[in-house]
Homo-oligomer: A and B are copies of this chain.
Amino acid sequence: MISSIAELISDRIGSMPAGERRAAQTLIANYPLTGLKTVAEFSAAAGVSSPTILRFVARLGFQNYPEFQSALQDELAAQLQSPASRTLNPGSVGGAASPMLEATLDNMRETFRHLTDKQLADIAARLAERRGKTFLIGGRFTDPLARYMAAHLAIIQPDVYHLAGQESIWRDRLIDMGKRDVLVIFDIRRYQESLVRFAEKAHHRGVQIILFTDQWLSPIARFARHVIAGRTAVPSAWDSSAALFVVAETLIGAVTRQLEAAGAKRIRDLESLR
């Protein structure tokens, strides 16, 4: 079976005329980058003319050059998203849990690879600001993450509210929200209409939105000030929110550190209340 374009090429390279073979070799030599450039650049690199490149691409079964490039990009996307772990700890755990765990670990690495410290620091700083209120809400499966985050934030600072219950209930809370406030939303596929509407209204009121979503970006990204895109794919019937969970914990930690002085006092006060 032929799964990659590189395989396809080496499969047919034997039956190619000289010029096209040079194109093939040039492409393989630093695959797949040459194929992402323009026909002119490709042809120059291979030392052949543009039509030869196009004939080469046609021979591989593509209708036109853009189609060929799209295929390469898709392949690259798949490669970039499932990195190292194939080679790592090969025989550690052989059971049913292993693929799931490995995928989850990969997801976290990937998620953080796309997340710079500056981004995290900015978001943490915004959450640590105590000018306004902080609201948290999530979708059908992600609302527990909102709760988790709210439970921690509420301890180290005042005015943290988790929006729960029926849509009509939290929709009414919009009236309390203004431009000094922050709304943390968790929304992964399949994106919830009600959340999108809510986010839009909040946005129009000037509320700053921090969005936790998946790599395909919830439509709420349109309204969000900060977007955290986590990887969710695992070998299961369900998507995994684990990467987002870890980002949430990281942020909780960062905010706590920033509020250390003020927070410590608050925690002591809380303790004495129990």
**Interface residue ranges, A against B (CB under 8 Å):** 6-7, 10-11, 13-14, 21-22, 25-26, 28-31, 33, 36-37, 47, 73, 76-77, 80-81, 83-84, 86-89, 91-93, 95-97, 100-101, 104-105, 108-109, 112-122, 140-141, 143-145, 147-148, 151-152, 215, 217, 219, 221-222, 224-225, 227, 229, 234-238, 240-242, 245-246, 249-250, 252-254, 256-257
Contact = CB atoms under 8 A, between A and B. Distances in A.
B254 A96 contact: yes
A60 B11 CA distance: 42
A259 B242 CA distance: 23
B122 A14 contact: yes
A85 B26 CA distance: 25
A104 B242 CA distance: 11
Contacts of A147: 143-144, 147
Copies of this subunit: 2
A110 to B, nearest CB: 10
Contacts of A14: 122
B36 A73 contact: yes
Contact of A141 (B87, B151, B235, B257): B151
Contact of A93 (B83, B112, B229, B257): B112
A117 B105 contact: no
A119 to B, nearest CB: 5
A71 to B, nearest CB: 13
Contacts of A234: 249, 253
Contact of A88 (B22, B113, B120, B252): B113
Contacts of A91: 116-118
Contact of A97 (B10, B26, B115, B240): B115
B89 A112 contact: yes
Contacts of A236: 249, 252-253, 256-257
Contact of A253 (B21, B100, B113, B246): B100
19 contacts: A7-B116, A10-B116, A21-B225, A26-B221, A28-B227, A28-B229, A29-B217, A30-B80, A31-B114, A33-B73, A33-B80, A36-B36, A89-B112, A89-B113, A95-B117, A97-B115, A144-B151, A242-B245, A242-B246
Given A77-B33, A83-B86, A117 B141 contact: no
